[in-house]
């Protein structure tokens, strides 16, 4: 009898120990976050720097004990800057890798094709720099890491027009050049609406195909219309091509720029140097005294210490802080909800403000920022192509919004001269 009792006690102890071991093993299993990211192709300059920022966040979180006592693991694949690769990547992440959460790669063109996959799997999905991606889907578990606010198509272009329309005399004519892809076409909708509102005549309105090798004929045609403003909505290859053609052809207009992605990247700045002078363009963050949010300079110090070895943008002002903040939001929501349940995490993001290295963020309609913060900047007084020209904010002046303003516009644009 005693022997049988002892066997029962031992058996119970073994079962209890097994349960504890299994529970400990589950607790030690990483929380996985999956994403596609452009590591090759036209968006790779941004994608690589964004991935480094996300890896820094992962390492910082894990050094503090992870999320809910569990380490965090990133699983990523190269989307090759090709939207056609995106659905397959996210299907694999969810159905094969079985990740706990998904976040997007870089840019509207890469986010839009992932949306149907996120929706069909009923997953929380954070988009990194996607313009108005959710304006058609209205998916309640999507959240945008982009400071364009609840009306992104108009908010993106509005500051460019605010700068131009403050001039005396007011501009009367506008040329619009747009890449034939998702983000630029979304941006151009806002441009058309604002031009109509402000009574501006559109004298040129064309799209160009991705991969256009030479913009010189386009610049010549635009110049023949003698526009007061030229608004360009383009991804990095097009932005570089258009700026090169504008400077080589001596484009004359009062205000030039608006929606040119890529001019914010340090390697592009070093390529053009003084040829950036006079361009008025959007940006999201620069290290002006008005924008030094808690934690961002510490992050940039860490990022810059690793940028050389990683072969990415040496300064990292444009995309990396927002890539880091993207995961800050997700991580804080997981901790706040104390759950990996998709509904619980989505509800937490929707109903709570977040303190991030890019400032305080709350989410509103369609998962967009509740309050827009689109900067309009102008490059001024650049003399050389040295990195020293760009290490602080002296050559990049914030024109709008007023609460962040650091200088005044210089016009007209004169083919890169001032």
- Mean pLDDT, range 30-52, rounded to an integer: 97
Tell me: the pLDDT tens digits for 281-331?
Answer: 999 999 999 999 999 999 999 999 999 999 999 999 999 999 999 999 999
**Residue 145 forms beta bridges with which residues?**
128
Is pLDDT at 19 greater than 80 in this prediction? Answer: no
What DSSP string describes 20-72?
Answer: HHHHHHHHHSPEEEEEEE-SSSTTHHHHHHHHHHHHHHHHHHHHTT-BTTB-E
Minimal CA–CA distance to 119: which of 342, 352, 351?
342
SS3 346: helix
Question: DSSP string of 254-284?
Answer: SEEEEEETTTTSHHHHHHHGGGGTT-EEEES
Cβ 387 vs Cβ 314: under 8 Å: yes
pLDDT value at position 199?
97
Note the residue count of the chain: 418
CA–CA distance, 191 with 165 (Å, rounded to integer): 14
CA separation for the pair 137, 140 (Å, rounded): 9
- When the pLDDT of each residue in the chain is averaged and rounded to a whole number, the result is 93
- pLDDT for residue 7: 56
Q: In degrees to the nearest 10, what's the CA dihedral of 170, 174, 179, 184?
A: 40
**Segment 84-91 mean pLDDT:** 98
Taking only Cα atoms into account, the Rg of the chain, rounded to an integer number of angstroms, comes to 24
Rounded Cα distance between 206 and 274, Å, is 28
Q: Can you say whether the dihedral through the CA atoms of 376, 268, 37, 180 is positive or negative?
A: positive
Rounded Cα distance between 232 and 191, Å, is: 10
pLDDT > 60? residue 152:
yes
pLDDT at 56: 98
Q: In Å, how far are 166, 174, 200, 278 from 170, measured between CA atoms?
A: 7, 12, 10, 18
Spatial separation of the C-alpha atoms in residues 76 and 78, rounded to whole Å: 7
pLDDT at position 126 is 98
pTM of the complete model: 0.90
Q: Per-residue confidence at 22, pLDDT binned at 50, 70, 90?
A: very low
Phi, psi torsion values for 78, nearest 5 degrees:
-75, 120
pLDDT tens by residue, 89-115: 999 999 999 999 999 999 999 999 999
| Tokens at 360, concatenated | 């305080």
With a cut of 50, say whether residue 18 has pLDDT above it.
no
Residue 20 has pLDDT above 60, yes or no: no
Are 325 and 316 in contact by the 8 Å Cβ rule? The answer is no
The pLDDT tens digits of the residues spanning 131-151 come to 999 999 999 999 999 999 999
The mean per-residue pLDDT over the stretch 382-411 comes to 96
- CA neighbor of 125 nearest in space, from 349, 405, 369: 349
Q: Measured between alpha carbons, how far is 154 from 375 in angstroms, rounded to an integer?
A: 13
Specify burial of residue 18 (Cβ count, 10 A radius: 0-12, 13-18, 19+): exposed
Bridge partner list, 375: 283
d(CA 146, CA 126): 10
pLDDT tens digits, 222-276 = 999 999 999 999 999 999 999 999 999 999 999 999 999 999 999 999 999 999 9
For residue 6, what pLDDT is reported?
53
Cβ contact 274:383 at 8 Å: yes
pLDDT bin (cut points 50, 70, 90) of residue 28 is: confident
DSSP string, 280-316: EEEES----GGG--TTHHHHHHHHHHHHHHHTS-SS-
Residue 415's pLDDT is 79
- Whether the per-residue pLDDT at 31 is higher than 70: the answer is yes
Q: What is the mean pLDDT of residues 82-93?
A: 98
Q: Which residue in 129, 117, 147 sits closest to 37, CA to CA?
A: 129
- Sheet of 201-208, strand order: 201-208, 173-179, 229-234, 255-260, 280-283, 375-379, 396-400
Identify the bridge partners of residue 73 per DSSP, sorted by sequence position: 32
DSSP, residue by residue, 214-229: --HHHHHHHHHT--SE
Q: Residue 24: is its pLDDT beyond 50? A: no
Residue 114 host element (H or E): none
């Amino acid at each position: 009898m005693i022997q049988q009792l002892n066997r029962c006690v031992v058996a119970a102890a073994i079962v209890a120990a097994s349960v504890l071991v299994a529970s400990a093993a589950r607790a030690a299993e990483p929380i996985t976050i999956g994403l596609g990211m452009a590591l090759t192709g036209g968006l790779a300059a941004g994608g690589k720097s964004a991935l480094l920022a996300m890896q820094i966040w992962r390492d910082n979180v894990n050094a503090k004990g992870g999320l809910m006592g569990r380490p965090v693991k990133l699983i990523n694949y190269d989307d090759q800057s090709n939207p056609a690769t995106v659905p397959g990547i996210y299907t694999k992440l969810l159905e094969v890798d079985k990740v706990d959460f998904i976040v997007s790669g870089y840019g509207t063109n890469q986010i839009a094709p992932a949306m149907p996959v996120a929706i069909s799997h009923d997953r929380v999905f954070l988009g990194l720099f996607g313009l108005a991606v959710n304006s058609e889907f209205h998916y309640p578990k999507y959240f945008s890491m982009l400071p364009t606010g609840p009306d992104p198509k108009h908010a993106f272009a509005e500051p460019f027009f605010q700068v131009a329309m403050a001039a005396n005399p007011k501009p009367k004519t506008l040329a619009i050049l747009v890449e034939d892809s998702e983000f630029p076409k979304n941006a151009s909708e806002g441009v058309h609406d604002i031009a109509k509102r402000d009574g501006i005549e559109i004298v040129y309105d064309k799209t160009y195909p991705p991969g256009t090798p030479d913009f010189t004929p386009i610049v010549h045609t635009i110049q023949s219309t003698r526009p007061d403003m030229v608004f360009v909505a383009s991804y990095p290859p097009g932005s570089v091509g258009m700026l090169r053609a504008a400077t080589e052809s001596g484009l004359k207009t009062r205000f030039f720029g608006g929606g040119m992605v890529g001019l914010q990247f340090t390697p592009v700045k070093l390529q053009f140097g003084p040829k950036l002078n006079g361009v008025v363009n959007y940006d999201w963050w620069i290290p002006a005294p008005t924008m030094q949010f808690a934690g961002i300079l510490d992050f940039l110090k860490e990022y810059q210490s690793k940028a050389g070895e990683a072969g990415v943008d040496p300064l990292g002002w444009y995309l990396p802080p927002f890539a880091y903040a993207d995961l800050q939001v997700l991580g804080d929501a997981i901790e706040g909800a104390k759950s990996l349940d998709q509904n619980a995490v989505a509800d937490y993001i929707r109903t709570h403000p977040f303190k991030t290295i890019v400032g305080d963020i709350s989410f509103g309609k369609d998962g967009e920022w509740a309050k827009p913060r689109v900067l309009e900047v102008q490059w001024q007084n650049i003399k050389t192509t040295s990195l020293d020209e760009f290490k602080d904010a002296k050559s990049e002046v914030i024109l709008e919004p007023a609460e962040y303003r650091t200088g005044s516009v210089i016009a007209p644009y004169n083919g890169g001269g001032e």
